[in-house]
Amino acid sequence: MAGIGIKDVIRAVVYTITTFVATVLLTVETPATGGYFNLGEAAIYTIAFIAPPLVTAISSGLGPALADLALGYWYFAPATFVIKFSEGFVVSKLLNWLRSKRHKEAVLNIIRALAIVLATALTVIVIVAEASPGGGAGVEFSWTPTTFLGLSIPIPNLKIVLPSLAWIVIAVVFIIVAVLSIAIWGKPYVLSMAVGGLIMVTGYFLYEYFVSNPIILHREAQAAIFEIPVNIGQFVAGIILAYPLVQFIERAKGSRG
């Protein structure tokens, strides 16, 4: 494995700032778990397309973890670093693999099957979830103070609080949009992004179920299930936002030969 040069260090710093800002810019809180929806996935997926796996992993883990600390979600920061480090590494690796292979039809079939599995899982959640465990809706705008190279730079933050049950409906809509998007785009890169998203969904569910809910926040461990549709919606939204950027980058590289 080649070592990391100064160029990679600079890129990691720039991409870490990018994932931090993307995570902080818009947050939608889930009262049941103390978690929140954000746009960080879109940044991770885009960076994975243009950066090597290790650089992607570092920026994917560090930026969102710092965002957790800045926004007051300190109890998620260690898990965020590990989960999103793994997510960024896997997405970048898979993207590189897909660009070097030509079995696109088989890959597209896997994507379609994955979309069906996700839609089925969400249907089960809707049936099982009889009620949301509290928390009303609300909107709050604030400035998140950050320091970079000795300069104080406030970043705007729009925070929206929604009940968990509302996220189930939103997540179902996201899945439908994702399936339509896959049918329209017909590109296999969605697979790597979806695999990374499932790593994120699984990682946070396990952390919330076994650690943050029962030990840190003293909430019901089972409430972690209400974060599943939120996180699914988060990575699907990330795919929808990142994919046009990836296509643009791909065309730009092709036009330059």
Rounded to the nearest integer, the mean pLDDT of the chain is 81
pTM reported for the whole predicted model = 0.75
Predicted pLDDT of residue 1? 45
CA–CA separation, 193 and 189 (whole Å): 7
| Confidence bin at 100 (pLDDT 50/70/90) | low
Predicted pLDDT of residue 34? 84
Placement of tokens 């699984």 in the chain: 202
The answer on pLDDT for 115 being more than 80 is: no
Predicted pLDDT of residue 35? 85
Question: Which whole number is the average pLDDT over 73-77?
Answer: 96
The answer on pLDDT for 85 being more than 70 is: yes
Task: List CB contacts of 160: < 8 A, sequence separation 6 or more.
Answer: 26, 27, 28, 29, 137, 138, 139, 140
Predicted pLDDT of residue 145? 78
Predicted pLDDT of residue 130? 46
* CATH top class, domain 6-255: mainly alpha
The residues with which 155 forms a beta bridge, in sequence order, are 144
Give residue-wise pLDDT tens across range 151-185: 787 878 777 666 666 666 666 665 665 555 555 55
- Is residue 227 within 8 A of residue 205, CB to CB? The reply is yes
Predicted pLDDT of residue 181? 56
* Polymer length in residues for the chain: 257
Single-letter residue type at 181? S
Placement of tokens 């980058």 in the chain: 249
The residues with which 154 forms a beta bridge, in sequence order, are 145
- Is residue 108 within 8 A of residue 189, CB to CB? The reply is no
Give residue-wise pLDDT tens across range 1-43: 455 689 999 999 999 999 999 999 989 888 778 888 899 999 9
Ranges 84-88, 93-97, 143-147: which has the least confidence? 143-147
Question: Which whole number is the average pLDDT over 225-233?
Answer: 83
pLDDT above 70 covers a percentage of the chain that reads: 69
Predicted pLDDT of residue 178? 57
